[in-house]
Structure 1
Amino acid sequence: MTEPVLDIAVRHKLGDFLLDASFRSQGRLTALFGASGSGKTSLVNVIGGLIRPQSGHVRVEGETLVDTARGVVLPPHRRRLGYVFQEARLFPHLTVRQNLLFGHWFVPRALRKPAELDMVLDLLGIGHLLKRRPGALSGGEKQRVAIGRALLAQPRLLLMDEPLAALDEARKAEILPHIERLRDEVGIPIVYVSHALTEVARLATTVVVVEAGRVGACGPTAEILSRLDLASRPGAPEASTLLAAEVVDFDEAFGLARLATPAGEFAIARGALRAGQRLRVRIMASDVMLGLAPPEGTSALNILPGRIAEIGERSGEGGSTVHLRLDCAGEALVVRLTAKSAANLALAVGKPVYAIVKSVSVETP
């Protein structure tokens, strides 16, 4: 049986806060997601060796980094982990090239790969910055250099703690495609800490929901985002549907792109999409309307037939809303309605319905 990429089970008390978290992940990018103060950074610091847990174990691809029962606690410098923080933490007196090559100092000469620097420059698009110093870089450029420095240490695992938190939306948009390439092309597993659901939806292959020091849920991203039991919890982010999509055609006259997904086809604004492009689309549960028959005389371009697969508990003020999960051609689609609307339609598990989604509501995170 293949060893999980991550096998974590730790317990540690920090003042009045108790971290008692366990999970396993096979994901290429595992996102630790939760509210500020939930214990995400404490958990990643345990993995990185910045916190020594009072009990438990940490294993990466079968190799034990921590096992308190056996007295095994590797120091940080022997764990072969790359760490990217909220701030780039570059050396201001060194050029970009010198900052990058600093990562190589942690790799034994016999193990250094001659072409590694070229690969990192291409992956992160920073080859033109080599002679600059950090003071002459934008926030997004600094973070890309910080990621490059971590990669050149040839880590077995890359830890990224809120790496986009200090950036504005333009800089985030600049760096997200590079993290996607890192996830898909490099082969180094990533632990990504975030409280931003849009980042998690776009990047993560596995999501670990951290709540008050414990793991509330762990699983594939689409599954976690669509779970009705999580959506009904106080303070939880709104449930949504995440679908793999491919751009198959364009309506040039109206500036639309046609996307094929497992749940059916969608028409959305073309934007910068390219023919054949593969992407994820996200649909918020509150952006879906339901009908009992195919609607006529509506402006909505996306109408998917389905059946009610699950009805969640009522939530919201006075139990005013309810979440439902539809089965659309075997794919889950989550819907949030008022409880009154659900009652008026006499919705029940197994009932056929039609999901109506406006094109402008289909996000491409």
Structure 2
Amino acid sequence: MTTPVLDIAVRHRLGDFQLDAAFQSQGRLTALFGTSGSGKTSLVNVIGGLIRPQAGHVRVEGEALLDTARGVFLPKHRRRIGYVFQEARLFPHLTVRQNLLFGHWFVPHAVRKPAELDKVLELLGIGHLLKRRPGALSGGEKQRVAIGRALLAQPRLLLMDEPLAALDEARKAEILPHIERLRDEVGIPIVYVSHSLAEVARLATTVAIVDAGRIAACGPTAEILARVDLASRPGAPEASAVLSAAVTGFDEAFGLARLATPAGELAIARGALRLGQQLRVRIMASDVMLSLAPPEGTSALNALPGTVAEIGERTGEGGSTVHLRLDCGAANLIVRLTAKSVASLALAIGKPVYAIIKSVSVETP
């Protein structure tokens, strides 16, 4: 059996709040998703050694950082964990280069990698900032430097506690591609705390939903976000489908891009997409309509054939809404309809349908 990258099971009381969370993950980037006060940051602080829990264990790639049953508790300075906070927390009197090398100083000389600084500068696109001080940096630049400092400490695990929460949308757009490269190229597992569904859908390979100090669900991102049974839970993310996609062509006359996805071909606004580009797209359950026949005379450009695979319980005020899961080829789509629509279309498991999706409703990076 493969050893999990992360194996967490801890219990701890903080005043009136009880943390009782357990999950395992093989993901390159594990997102802890939940509402404010759900226990995400407390759980990260346990992993990082900032909180010593009353019971449980924390294992990273099989090595115990904490095991109360065996009396193991590695202090935070021996865990080799990089920590990136909401605020960059750079030293204002040091240059960017000095801030970065501060992380490198914690690495024993015997295991330091001389070319590591150059790799980090290229990965994060911050080589031109080396002589500046933090006061002359944008919020996104500060966070990239903070990530670089954490990486240069050569950690075994990187904890990112809502690193984009203090940034505006433009700065978030600036830094997200760098976190994607970090996830895909560096090989250091990441625990990423967020209450932003858009960030989680774009970045996470594994999602753990934190609710009132417990793990309500944990698994691959596409599976968790498409869980019909989770859709009505307090604090659960809005149900959606996350699809891998590739740009296969363009409709130049109308500014559209064609995407190949496991659910079928989609037409969306071209934006800055490039031919051959690999990306993730997200389709919210509330943005999908259903038809029993191929649609005609509609403005929506996308109609994907599928079969009703699951019908959830009625939720909402008076039981007014229902979530359904569709089997569309090699992928699932999630649909949120009124209970009346489900009844009027006589929807049942196994019934063929067409999922109608407006191009402007497909979310892309």
Same fold? TM cut 0.5:
yes
Structure 1 residue 218 and structure 2 residue 218: aligned?
yes
CA distance in 1, matches of 2:39, 2:120: 31
Q: CA deviation at 1:110?
A: 1.1
* Bigger mean CA offset, 203-212 vs 295-304: 295-304
SS, match of residue 119 in structure 1: helix
Match of 2:238 in 1: 238
SS, match of residue 151 in structure 1: helix
SS, match of residue 180 in structure 1: helix
Q: CA deviation at 1:236?
A: 3.1
CA distance in 2, matches of 1:227, 1:175: 29
Paired residues for 1:91-170 under 5 Å: 91-170=91-170
Q: Is the 8 A contact 2:209 2:236 kept in 1?
A: no
State the percentage of identical aligned residues.
87
SS, match of residue 57 in structure 1: strand
The one-letter amino acid of 1:115's match is A
The one-letter amino acid of 2:44's match is V
Match of 1:208 in 2: 208
The one-letter amino acid of 1:183's match is R
Paired residues for 1:275-314 under 5 Å: 275-314=275-314
Paired residues for 1:1-365 under 5 Å: 1-365=1-365
SS, match of residue 327 in structure 1: strand
Q: Is the 8 A contact 1:159 1:192 kept in 2?
A: yes
TM-score by length of 2: 0.99
SS, match of residue 259 in structure 1: strand
Q: Is the 8 A contact 2:34 2:235 kept in 1?
A: no
Give per-residue Cα distances to partners, 1:173-223, cap 9 Å, x unaligned: 000000000000000000000001000000000000000000000000000
SS, match of residue 341 in structure 2: helix
CA distance in 2, matches of 1:89, 1:296: 56
Q: CA deviation at 1:56?
A: 0.4
Q: CA deviation at 1:330?
A: 3.0
Check 1:218–1:343 CA distance in 2 against 1; reply closer, same or farther (3 A cut).
same
Which stretches of structure 1, 4 residues or longer, exceed 6 Å deviation after superposition? none
The one-letter amino acid of 2:208's match is V
Q: Is the 8 A contact 1:257 1:270 kept in 2?
A: yes
Q: Is the 8 A contact 1:232 1:314 kept in 2?
A: no
Q: Is the 8 A contact 2:23 2:215 kept in 1?
A: yes
The one-letter amino acid of 2:324's match is L
Give per-residue Cα distances to partners, 1:140-187, cap 9 Å, x unaligned: 000000000000000000000000000011100000000000000000
CA distance in 2, matches of 1:55, 1:251: 59
Name stretches of at least 5 consecutive residues in structure 2 with no aligned partner: none
CA distance in 2, matches of 1:198, 1:360: 16
SS, match of residue 350 in structure 1: coil
CA distance in 2, matches of 1:68, 1:332: 41
Q: CA deviation at 1:331?
A: 1.2
The one-letter amino acid of 1:239's match is A
Aligned Cα root-mean-square deviation (Å): 0.7
Name stretches of at least 5 consecutive residues in structure 1 with no aligned partner: none
CA distance in 2, matches of 1:237, 1:190: 20
SS, match of residue 146 in structure 1: helix
CA distance in 2, matches of 1:54, 1:206: 27
Q: CA deviation at 1:299?
A: 1.3
SS, match of residue 318 in structure 2: helix
SS, match of residue 199 in structure 2: helix
Q: CA deviation at 1:2?
A: 2.0
Q: CA deviation at 1:283?
A: 0.3
Give per-residue Cα distances to partners, 1:334-364, cap 9 Å, x unaligned: 0000110110000000001011001000110
The one-letter amino acid of 2:59's match is R
The one-letter amino acid of 2:319's match is G
Aligned residues: 365
The one-letter amino acid of 2:280's match is R
The one-letter amino acid of 1:196's match is S
Q: Is the 8 A contact 2:321 2:339 kept in 1?
A: yes
The one-letter amino acid of 1:11's match is R
The one-letter amino acid of 1:133's match is R
Q: CA deviation at 1:307?
A: 0.4
The one-letter amino acid of 2:357's match is V
CA distance in 2, matches of 1:19, 1:48: 15
SS, match of residue 24 in structure 2: strand
Q: CA deviation at 1:235?
A: 4.6
